[in-house]
Chain A
Amino acid sequence: DTAVSQTPKYLVTQMGNDKSIKCEQNLGHDTMYWYKQDSKKFLKIMFSYNNKELIINETVPNRFSPKSPDKAHLNLHINSLELGDSAVYFCASSQGGTSGTDTQYFGPGTRLTVL
């Protein structure tokens, strides 16, 4: 009965590979997000989707492509992985999507290590 789940929890891969991280929420929320937390623990938003539509797209390389097949899922695909992509990636969701005051519920994170 996990609210926001991510798979895999750990991902170790070589430079240049393509990988995906999956996220699912069973809260019935309209909006989902991807955040990146680097080695210095800074947590930054990457994308947000509201009802399958992209509404926030921060300055993220084109190698990162989010895909939302339905409003309960937001997957993150990363092409041509680089060493600097190593980080913990968090998925989150919120009920609404148009207000900064909406509480966001975070998943457990996916630790990506690029060798």
Chain B
Amino acid sequence: GENVEQHPSTLSVQEGDSAVIKCTYSDSASNYFPWYKQELGKRPQLIIDIRSNVGEKKDQRIAVTLNKTAKHFSLHITETQPEDSAVYFCAASTGETSYDKVIFGPGTSLSVIP
């Protein structure tokens, strides 16, 4: 089955700097890659996602890149703010519909230092 790895496990950046989180996946059939943000004590929230026919997607300060050949994808957060502090999970899914299960990486705890 699918296995998703994520690095680093913890990341600390100064406010205003950029943060990059990298993930790899094992199943070449995976074609959907969402990213979730989970604040302490709260549920995971989808922040951005990308499909395999797209190499990069951007939404304001966050962007995701995908290298399907190398089976890795990354989350980039620019101009970080204290409210970006949270645990971020990458995930991967095979199949063509939202009915297909999503496998999560182990998570990255991001701390933005004011």
Partners in one complex: no
